[in-house]
Each structure stands twice: as structure tokens, then as C-alpha cells.
Amino acid sequence: MNRTSRPEPLTVDRIDSPIGAILVVHDGQGQLRALDFEDHAPRMRQLLRLYHGAEGIGHTLRDGPAPHATRHALERYFAGDLTAVDGLGIMTGGTEFQRAVWAALRRIRPGTTTTYGALARQVGRPRAMRAVGAANGANPISIVLPCHRVIGADASLTGYGGGLDRKRWLLTHEGAMAGAGSVADRAGQAAARAAAPVMRDNA
């Protein structure tokens, strides 16, 4: 970093959602730099440091209103317009490989899932499943870069930075839950839906 350059000013805002408050970080051009759940704020700040430099040196972070486009897109997404976030402008940082993985994530359509192996093949590194998994886990912009749509080769949910309950909720919301999770997961979901048909709204 040039010694004469100044930290890049970023703003953070809080947006409510059915699965917990979400933090969104934008730059001065209105591009989304980070999206994470409020209870995972330390992880969000860690990724900002990793991709945009230490706070106070590479960037500054202060409270500020999110662009209307971001707020409106997330509201529409949670209301059922599953492609509403597709047009949001983003700036991720990261390595060339990470950016390739994250670009591939954005091509996974709502209501579908893929595996780490399939994602590795898409980015031209068919043996790099672990590296793909690491890039997936270091995704700084959840939901918009839908890492929740990546599942295990055995259809298990595997990990998710926001927690497996949220991953399960998101896949159910998108209509992909029938194809995600283990047999036990799917049976549990079916039983829960039968017992409480409005569970999604209360999640």
C-alpha cells in the first residue's frame, strides 16, 4: 500500500431478516463489500481486514445507510423474489482463484444446489475440492454470492458460515431443500413442515 494513500471509507448498516439481523458494508460507489449476519460480525471484520487491509490503514468503517437498491433487493429476496439480489454490484477482493470460485457461486440458480467437486470442475481445478471449500468458507458476501447452495457429495448440508440452521432455512426458502441434506435432514424437514406449515415465517 502506498504510504500516501488514505484508508478507503466504508459504511455498515443493519437490515432485519427472518433469520436474524444482517450487516451490509458498502464503499463510496455503492458497491457491496460484505454481507454477514450480525452475530457473525467478528468474522465479517476479519474478512474485511483480509481483503481490504487493516481497519484504519486499508479501510475505515463507520455506520451509514445502505443504498436503497441493496435494502430493497434483500427485502424482495426474503419476500420470495429469489433473483432480486442478482443485479447488485459487488467488490470482493481476494485472490484470482477465490474470485473465480465466487463468480461460479453466483451462477448457481435459486432452487438448485451443487457440490464442491462440481464447483472445482467449473473453475478448471477438478482436484482442488478442498481449496474450493476454503474459498467458499471465506466468501465475504453471503446470500448474494450464494455459498449456501453448495452441499456435500452425499447431499449432506456440510458447513455454512452463518450456521446450518440458516443454510437449511435458505435452501427451504428457495425450494431446494428436497435436494439438499441427508435423508435424516429431509425427513426431519418434512415432519417439521407437516407439524408447523408456517415455520418459515417464524424462522
Determine the Cα–Cα distance for residues 180 and 158; give it in Å rounded to an integer.
10
Q: Same fold for the domain at 8-79 and the one at 96-196?
A: no
What amino acid positions are annotated as catalytic residues?
147
**Under CATH, which architecture does the 96-196 domain have?**
Orthogonal Bundle (1.10)
- In 3D, which of 147, 153, 183 has the Cα closest to residue 167? 147
Q: What is the mean pLDDT of each run of 10 residues along the chain (203 residues)?
A: 75 97 97 97 97 95 98 98 97 96 97 96 95 96 97 89 94 80 37 37 35
Q: What is the pLDDT of residues 101-112, one digit of tens each?
A: 999 999 999 999
pLDDT confidence of residue 159: 84
Rg of the chain over CA atoms, in angstroms?
Answer: 17
Query: Looking at the domain that runs over 8-79, which CATH code has it been given?
Result: 3.30.160
Q: Where in the chain are the domains? A: 8-79, 96-196
Which grid coordinates are listed for 102?
465466487
pTM over 0.85: no
Residue 114, φ and ψ in degrees, nearest 5: -140, 175
Phi, psi at 108, each rounded to 5°: -80, 120
